[in-house]
Chains A and B, each alone.
Chain A
Amino acid sequence: MSYETVGKLIDKWLNDPGFRSALRENPEAVIKKMKINLSEEEWVALKKMDWNMSDEALSQRVNKFFS
C-alpha cells in the first residue's frame, strides 16, 4: 500500500485550518472533491476516521494487541 496520497491529505489537514473544518463537517464530500484514488478498503477506513478527535484523544485510543 502506498500512503503518499493519504499522507498528503493528512498534511493538508494539519496545515490548513479551513480544510480541517471542511473535513470535520463533511469528510465524504471533501475527500470526493479531492479525487484521490483509493481502494474500497482505504475508502471505508478513511470514512471511519474521526476527524474531530484531537491527537491527544487519538493517542489515548491506541491499544496494545501484542505484549
Chain B
Amino acid sequence: MALAAKIIFSETDDLLSPNYKDRVFLQAENFLKVQSLSRSQYQLFKCALDGLREDFQEEEIPPFIYLPRLVCAGLTGDAEIALPLSVATTLLFLGVDILDDLADGDLPSYWKGYQTSQIQLVSATLLSSLPQIAISELEVSETCRDALQRTLAQGLLRMSAGQYQDLSMNGKDNVSSQEVEASVAAKSGEELALFTALAAQFSGAPPDLVKVYTDMGRAIGTAGQLASDCYDIFQAEKSKDLANGTRTFPIALYLEKKTLEERKLFLDLLERAKESEGVVDMIRATLHSSGILRLSAFVVEVYCQRARTLLTAAAPRDIAVSGLEKFIQKNSFF
C-alpha cells in the first residue's frame, strides 16, 4: 500500500508536464484507429487530430487535456486515472473546435482538399459518437457511467444554446454586454464546466463537490473567452472577430455606453473593418480612449476571483492546487 502511494506520488509530481499531452494525443490516435470503420474514415479523423496537435504544439497546457487530470488528481491523489478521460475530452474539444471554424469560415489549411460536408461529418461524429464511446469504456460503475453520459449530453445541449445565441448576435446593431457575457458563459464557460464536471464525477466526488468543480470550470472558461476576445481586438495581428462582424464583449460594452450618434459612427467603422485591416487601428484607439480594455480586464478579474473562491471551496489535494491556480491566473491581466 505504501509503495503504491509512493508510485502514484512520483508519477503525478509534475501534473502539467508536456509528456502527458503527447500521451493523450497518442492514445487518442490509437482510439480513433480502433474505432474507425474504414481506412478512409480513419484518415479523416487523423487529419483532424493531427491538425489539433499542430495547433496546440506551442500551447503549454490545453485545458481539454490538463483540466481533467488536475481535477482527478485533486480529488483522488492519482493523476494517472485521468488519461482515458482526457482522451474523451480531447475528442470532444476537437469536434467543437471544427464546428467553430466552420461557423467562422476560418478552416485551417490542413483541411485543403476536403469538402465542407466531409468536415461537417467529422465534427458531427466527434461530438455525437466518439466521446460517448470513450466514456462507455471507462472503468467505472454503471451508475457513474450513466451519470457521465448524461453530463456530457446536457453540457453539449447548453453549449449548443450558447453557440446559437452567439451566432444570432452576429452583425447586430444593439447587443448588450450582459447578452454577450451570457452567451460566452453558455458556450465557452460550459465547455470547461463539462471537462471539470466529468472529471469530478469520474473521480467519485459527491454531487455538491461536483457542482463546485463544475462552477469553477465555468468561471475559468468564461474568463478565458472574455480574455481571448480582448486579445483578438487589442493584440492579434489580424482580428478574426472584426473581420467576421462578431459582437464580442469589448464591442458590446462600447456600444451600450454610447449615444445613438456615436453608435452609428462606430457601427460604420465595424462594417468597414470587415474589408479593411487599416480600420482596426481606429477601432482599437476608440476602445482604448473609452476605457473598454480596463473595464473588460475588470470583468475578467471578477471571473478569476470567482474561480479562486471555488478552488478554495473545492479544497483539492495539494498536488493539484498550483496547476489549477495556473489555469486561473493565465486569464488574469494582473
> Which B residues touch A62, using CB under 8 A?
227, 230-231, 234-235, 293, 333
Chain B interface size range:
35 or more
- Which listed residue, B181, B290, B294, B299, touches A58 by the CB 8 Å rule? B294
Q: Once bound together, how far apart are the Cα atoms of A67 and B289, in whole Å?
A: 27
How far, in Å, is B123 (CB) from chain A's closest CB? 16
Q: Once bound together, how far apart are the Cα atoms of A40 and B215, in whole Å?
A: 17
B291 CB within 8 Å of chain A: yes
> Which A residues touch B200, using CB under 8 A?
none
A14 CB within 8 Å of chain B: yes
Whether A66 lies near B294 (C-beta < 8 A) is no
Q: Once bound together, how far apart are the Cα atoms of A60 and B333, in whole Å?
A: 9
- Which listed residue, B177, B228, B253, B297, touches A66 by the CB 8 Å rule? B228
- Which listed residue, A13, A48, A63, A65, touches B294 by the CB 8 Å rule? A13
B268 CB within 8 Å of chain A: no
Chain A contact residues: over half helix, strand or loop, or mixed?
helix
> Which A residues touch B333, using CB under 8 A?
49, 58, 61-62
Q: Which of B1-9, B35-43, B79-87, B301-309 sits within the interface?
A: B301-309
Q: Please provide the chain A residues from 27 to 52 with a CB less than 8 Å away from any CB of chain B in the complex.
A: 41-42, 44-46, 48-50
B224 CB within 8 Å of chain A: yes
How far, in Å, is A22 (CB) from chain B's closest CB? 16
How far, in Å, is B258 (CB) from chain A's closest CB? 11
How far, in Å, is B229 (CB) from chain A's closest CB? 9
Please name the 8 residue pairs, one residue from A and one from B, whose CB atoms are nearest each other, closest first.
A65-B224, A45-B301, A10-B291, A64-B231, A59-B234, A45-B302, A66-B228, A61-B333
Can you give 8 contacting A-B residue pairs, CB < 8 Å?
A3-B295, A6-B295, A10-B294, A10-B295, A41-B302, A45-B302, A64-B236, A65-B331
